[in-house]
Amino acid sequence: MNSSQQIELALGNAIEHSLSAALASVIGPDCPPKLADAMRYSVFPGGARIRPRLALAVACACGQDNPAVANAAAAAIELLHCASLVHDDLPCFDDASTRRGKASVHRAFGERLAVLAGDALIVLAFETLATGVKALPQRLPALMMIISRSVGMPTGIVAGQAWECESRVSLSAYQQAKTGALFAAATMAGAAAAGQIPEQWRMLGERLGEAYQVADDIRDAAGNAEELGKPVGRDVALGRPSAAVEFGISGAIARLDFLVAGALESIPECPGRDDLRALIQQEVDGLLPKQLKRETRDARQAA
Amino acid sequence: MNSSQQIELALGNAIEHSLSAALASVIGPDCPPKLADAMRYSVFPGGARIRPRLALAVACACGQDNPAVANAAAAAIELLHCASLVHDDLPCFDDASTRRGKASVHRAFGERLAVLAGDALIVLAFETLATGVKALPQRLPALMMIISRSVGMPTGIVAGQAWECESRVSLSAYQQAKTGALFAAATMAGAAAAGQIPEQWRMLGERLGEAYQVADDIRDAAGNAEELGKPVGRDVALGRPSAAVEFGISGAIARLDFLVAGALESIPECPGRDDLRALIQQEVDGLLPKQLKRETRDARQAA
């Protein structure tokens, strides 16, 4: 195991621990048991946890003075991401039957509990932030602004989802709101949690967010459902904007590489810059199924 | 116009202004226009705004030092209340066709925008709080805890709604979560916004919340749809717990009077105690349709 892999493991453990603690803080014998189950089911077992890991990695790279603050920000961002997946899967949106390799929340618990689990996770995100940042309240307003702007109006993930209800929308505005915003919040909140200026970390998050969205489009168009744990081909079926549809698989992979290079270049000077670069490179390497990367490389070489 | 009525008018104006400012802060030319419309439609024109008026009245009674803090807390509470109405009205819950005398949000904008408007209003509530309390960040963690606990798990309005998905539930636990929680948040947040200890204001909010719920049950069972601006008889039709069903109309009115007396008695010592009592009495007097109160009084006298 190399040092990047060790850091990744430690970050992953910190995130699972923070998420468990957040849920445990509001789930007890007196709460409605089905909603409690639906909330746990929405958060565990997790996906790649890429946003909270990014937040923690940036906080570490900035030389954080209080890990509880970054852990709270990271957990809040992941809870909001989980909430958005639960609501996006609802029958009125994607009507997805599976997510992360198991039944979607509304299929497993019914539509009412899926709506409520999403709502409760949004609220829990902010509560988790308040609890974790209590010792340094002067950092709380900025963290709340960064995180709430990345989720709500006018440019957060809810706004991104709302663009799907409009007849005219540009691909980049849509993707920026739907994915880029929460990635930018991850890098900016990581910096703000460590007491650094968040704004100079925005570009890293935005570029990684766009890269991640492009990778998602590619997987949706070319991946296989079993490897992804959710149905594929939904973008085309639902007529949604997609980089894979717009540029073709091979063009989309070239765009992905370009975005990642730009992301790595944008990392500001900080104590842990080299470790952060290595960590991000490692994350990015896992974004596309190996089979697909091999095929595309072979096709490029043959061309 | 007596002095209570003048105070009420001033509070009402402050709330409408804070809500308008909150929405204006996230709605602009670059945001998805239908979601912007659905959010405005969910908040304006408002209902009685009873929770935020209570929060402001308590902050005034406590001798607040910074009105921006109380205004932000009051607006946050009302935005969360509006969000809960939008989601409660969804087809998978009440499937209400009207609310506040006009089409419910999902009937006017479709189900997807109703889900998103609710989500965006929850996020906006916390963002509004962060913005308003920026100058006194040391008050922010407590305000966030009070408000998030009143909405989420284990005992907030989302938990209350989730009890409707369970086969066993006690009337008081259900009502406490569904209505009492946000009223308790209003009185406690009002006190916390003024820098006072919130806990001793909990009972006032809880009793008023239960009183308000009982009044709502009475209106649902006995009111007329035109006066209320929403359909009546829903509790019986949906098999929901209701004080009017449990105690009868006249018994429920007696319980309402008992709860209000207890609420007024619980008001802690504070500079504006007398004004607050008068204000609450005036609010409570408007809870039931005049016709219904006359009929019940006549029936009691005849008995």
Subunit contact B140:A145, Cβ cutoff 8 A: no
A103, containing H or E segment: strand A102-103
Cβ-based neighbours of B263, under 8 Å, separated by 6 or more: B203, B204, B207, B208, B211, B280
Q: Which of A22, A81, A152 is nearest to B76 (CA)?
A: A152
Yes or no: say if A62 and A190 are a contact pair by the CB < 8 Å rule: yes
Closest Cα in chain A to B155 = A31
Q: Are B132 and B77 in contact (CB under 8 A)?
A: no
* Pick among B109, B153, B172 to test the A interface (most A CBs inside 10 A): B153
Q: Cβ contact (<8 Å) for B30 and A155?
A: yes
Name the phi and psi angles at B55, rounded to 5.
-60, -45
- Whether residue A179 contacts residue A163, with contact meaning beta carbons closer than 8 Å, is answered with no
Distance CA A227, CA A91 (A): 23
Please, is B277 exposed, middle or buried when counting C-beta atoms within 10 Å of its C-beta (0-12, 13-18, 19+)?
middle
Q: What is the pLDDT of residue B196?
A: 96
Residues of A in contact with B115 (CB under 8 A): 87, 90, 92-93, 115
- Eight-state DSSP code of residue B233: S
Residue A198: pLDDT over 70: yes
By three-state DSSP, how is residue A255 classified?
helix
Please give the residue of chain A at the shortest CA–CA distance from B151: A123
Q: Residue B178: beta bridge partners?
A: none
- Give CA–CA dist B138/B237, Å, rounded: 47
Q: Tell me the percentage of chain B whose pLDDT exceeds 90.
A: 69
Yes or no, beta carbons of A126 and B112 under 8 Å apart: no
| Residue B80 vs residues B148, B149, B181: alpha-carbon distances, Å | 10, 12, 12
Residue-level pLDDT at B174: 82
pLDDT of residue B224: 62
Instruction: Note the pLDDT of residue B131.
Output: 96
Helix (H, G, I), strand (E, B) or coil at A101: coil
Give the whole-angstrom CA distance, residue A209 versus residue B281. Answer: 54
Two tokens, residue A172: 């980049």
Distance from CA of B31 to the nearest CA of A (A): 5
Contact call for residues B252 and B288 (beta carbons, < 8 A) = no
CA distance A229 to chain B (A): 24
Mean pLDDT rounded to a whole number for chain B:
91
The SS3 of residue B71 is: helix
At which residue do the structure tokens 């077992």 appear?
Answer: A45
Torsion-angle region of A168 (φ positive above 0: left; ψ -120 to 50: alpha; else: beta)? beta
**Mean of the pLDDT values across residues A191-213?**
95
> Quick one: average pLDDT of A25-54?
95
Q: Which residues of B touch A144 (CB under 8 A)?
A: 126-127, 129-130, 140
User: How close is the nearest chain A Cα to the Cα of B19, in Å?
Assistant: 15
> Which is nearest to B84 in space by CA: B198, B228, B181?
B181
Of B93, B130, B154, Cβ closest to residue A31: B154
Report, as an integer, the average pLDDT of B5-20.
91
CA–CA distance, A53 with A34 (Å, rounded to integer): 29
B127/A122 Cβ within 8 A: no
The distance of Cα B141 from the centroid of its chain, to the nearest Å, equals 22
Nearest to A125 by CA among A23, A54, A10: A23
User: Within chain A, what is the greatest distance between any pair of CA atoms?
Assistant: 64
Q: What is the pLDDT of residues B89-104, one digit of tens each?
A: 999 999 999 999 999 9
Task: Give contacts of B164 with chain A, Cβ < 8 Å.
Answer: 112
Question: What was the pLDDT predicted at B193?
Answer: 97
In this structure, of B78-92, B129-143, B169-183, B288-302, the range with the lowest mean pLDDT score is: B288-302
Q: Distance between CA B201 and CA B55 in Å, rounded?
A: 11
Nearest to A32 among B118, B144, B162 (CB): B162
Is residue B103 helix, strand or coil?
strand
Main-chain dihedrals φ then ψ at residue B231, nearest 5 degrees:
-65, 150
Chain B residues touching A153 at Cβ < 8 A: 26-27, 31-32, 35-36, 39, 120, 123-124
Whether pLDDT at B48 is above 70:
yes
Res. B302 pLDDT band, cuts 50 70 90: confident
Measured CA to CA, the distance from residue A71 to residue B245 in angstroms comes to: 48
Tokens for A236, please give them: 């085309």
Whether residue B154 has a cis bond before it, omega within 30° of 0 = yes
Contact B127 A110 (CB under 8 A): no
Question: B141 pLDDT band (50/70/90 cuts)?
Answer: very high
What is the C-alpha end-to-end distance of chain B, expressed in Å?
36
Residue A224 binned pLDDT confidence (cut-offs 50, 70, 90): low
Measure the CA–CA gap between B224 and A235, rounded to whole angstroms.
Answer: 47
* A127 contacts on B by Cβ (under 8 Å): 144-145, 148-149, 152
Asked if the model's pLDDT at residue B2 lies above 90, the reply is: no
In angstroms, the CA A221 to CA A243 distance is 10
Tens-digit pLDDT profile for residues B182-240: 999 999 999 999 999 999 999 999 999 989 988 988 888 886 655 556 666 777 777 77
* For testing contact with chain A, the best of B27, B88, B123, B149 (most A CBs within 10 A): B123
Q: How far is A141 from chain B (nearest CA, A)?
A: 5
**CA–CA min distance B146, chain A (Å):** 9
State the nearest Cα–Cα gap between B30 and chain A, in angstroms: 7
Instruction: Check CB contact under 8 Å for B126 and A145.
Output: no
Distance, CA of B159 to CA of B220 (rounded, Å): 22
Angle, CA of B122, A27 and A9, to the nearest 5°: 90
Q: Tell me what the pLDDT averaged over chain A comes to.
A: 91
Q: Are the beta carbons of B162 and A126 separated by less than 8 Å?
A: no
Output the pLDDT for position A204: 97
Q: Do A162 and B35 touch (CB under 8 A)?
A: yes
Q: What is the pLDDT of residues A235-279, one digit of tens each?
A: 777 777 788 888 888 899 999 999 999 999 999 999 999 999 999
Task: Look at the block and give the residue holding tokens 């989730």.
Answer: B162
Query: CB–CB of B130 and A124 under 8 A?
Result: no
More confidently predicted of A210 and B76: B76
Q: Within a 10 A sphere around the Cβ of A39, how many other Cβ atoms?
A: 32
Looking at residue A239, the DSSP 8-state letter turns out to be: T
Cross-strand pairs, A235: none
Report the percentage of chain A scoring pLDDT > 70.
94
Instruction: Enter the ipTM.
Output: 0.92
Alpha-carbon span A155 to A213, nearest angstrom: 16
CB atoms within 10 A of CB B80: 29
Instruction: Please report the pLDDT score of residue A231 as a whole number.
Output: 67
Question: Which of these CATH numbers, 2.60.40.10, 1.10.3720.10, 1.10.600.10, 3.20.20.70, describes A3-302?
Answer: 1.10.600.10
Please state the rounded mean pLDDT for residues A194-217: 93
Residue numbers in A near B158 (CB within 8 A): 35, 116, 119-120, 123
pTM of the model: 0.92
Per CB-CB distance under 8 Å, the chain B contacts of A39 are: 153
